[in-house]
Amino acid sequence: MNKKIVLIIGAILLLLDQIIKFIVIDNNFVLIPGFLNLSYTENTGIAFGLNENNVILIILVNVVILGIIIKFLKENMDKIDMLEFISLILVLVGGFGNLIDRIFRGHVIDFININLFNFPVFNMADIYITVGAIILLIVIIKQFFIKNELE
């Protein structure tokens, strides 16, 4: 897969996140009764509502982290493999999705509500960040073990 295609897919995922957030504003949808709803929720904090009502600080931290990732990608584009690139793009897309909310709304819109167990409401951007971070962790662990086997 070409890295430009990954960037296009990332842009589509960001657009999807924003479109769904717009659709769920003031709406609730039951997708699977008793299990999965799309329920509009405002989150002024970070993951799981931590650090609530510190929007400016959260925006600044978000911008710094996204800037570091972008700088890393620019400087290492030819050195990183596709899986690492995909993981970083997912984290970027998720970060930008939630940053857009914080800047223009003062909060993040969460909407995926799993009713089967008590789990915080989340959004597509959160999924992108989580999946990207898990993939990146796997890549780092794999690289660590490959490096140690060669020594």
Just list the catalytic residues: 110, 126
Measured distance CA(38)–CA(68) in Å, rounded: 33
Residue 90 CA to residue 13 CA, distance in Å, equals: 9
Rounded Cα distance between 101 and 103, Å, is: 6
Structure tokens at 87: 């993981």
First to last CA, the chain: 31
Which of 94, 96, 103, 89 has its CA nearest to residue 126?
94
Q: From CA 80, how far away is CA 86, in angstroms rounded? A: 10
